[in-house]
Amino acid sequence: MAKRPCEVPARVVRELNRGTRETANLAEGLAVDFAVLAEHAGLSTHAIGRLAQAGADGVTKRMRLAGELVAKEEMTARCASHPSDTVRGWACFAIGHVSDSLDRAIDAIRPLADDRHFGVREWAWLGIRPHVAQNVERAIELLAPWAHDDSENTRRFASEATRPRGVWCAHIALLKTKPALGLPVLEPLRGDPTRYVQDSVANWLNDASKTEPEWVASLTEAWLDARPDDPHTARICRRARRSL
């Protein structure tokens, strides 16, 4: 019988739970047993038990719990360099949990924001999203230079972390009503050559279009007028306007 598309082979699950293999897709990420992985990663018996009890919770809730446990056991640095992308994701939430300021959180998360694994890069911005939401204008000030970084991962993080609505996270009310505050991050990316960044910028503006459609329409029109022959800008603007 052929495997269902979402079925993860038992051998792969064993390697994921041992922390010797990185996940290749969302299905593999959801197949990880956090309690078993925590044991292999060296967390305490208490932490393992807490994660076992939370096994039926949603993945983001379990990631946040794991991050809190990692932080309490002072294992953030060790987990941040672990071979398992899931464990490095725990470090992202640990950083968000222990950081007592937005500045320190953003500084600490930078290596994970540029991680080789797509999943860790998502956990990175989700891990510090509460700090961003609490101090939006300072977050934009700190992340604006990231929009000029050589790494597309770092540039994309600046956009994704400040999205007005985002995915699997709380909305940022201030950016839903005053999206122009995000321009220091968005303007440098309006002609980004990589689709990874283009999609994030377009999604940022699509988020904003749900509450400020005229502003998004005006901004994208201005971008197209300023860069009429740039296919990258054209793609961003087309996708940004998809809900208008």
Mean pLDDT calculated for residue range 82-106: 96
Confidence of residue 32 (pLDDT cuts 50, 70, 90): very high
Whether residue 4 has pLDDT greater than 60: no
What is the number of other CB atoms lying within 10 angstroms of the CB of residue 115? 20
CB 32 within 8 A of CB 86: yes
103-147 pLDDT tens trace: 999 999 999 999 999 999 999 999 999 999 999 999 999 999 999
The predicted pLDDT at position 7 comes to 87
Q: Domain map of the chain by residue range?
A: 10-134
Copy the structure tokens of residue 176: 């839903």
**Residues belonging to the chain:** 244
Q: E strands along 27-109, which residues?
A: none
Please tell me what DSSP assigns to residue 169: S
* pLDDT confidence of residue 182: 98
pLDDT digits (tens, 9 = 90+) for 188-217: 999 999 999 999 999 999 999 999 999 999
**R_g over Cα of the chain:** 19
User: Which pLDDT band holds residue 40 (cuts at 50, 70, 90)?
Assistant: very high
Q: What is the pLDDT of residues 146-169, one digit of tens each?
A: 999 999 999 999 999 999 998 888
Token code pair at residue 198? 């283009």
Find the helix packing angle between 102-113 and 152-160, rounded to 10°. Answer: 140
The alpha carbon torsion through 228, 230, 233, 235 (nearest 10 deg) reads: 110
Tell whether the model's pLDDT for residue 6 goes beyond 90: no
* pLDDT above 70: residue 3: no
- pLDDT number for residue 2: 38
Neighbouring C-beta atoms of residue 13, cutoff 10 Å? 16
DSSP labels, 113-125 = HT-SSHHHHHHHH
Which H or E run contains 152? helix 152-160
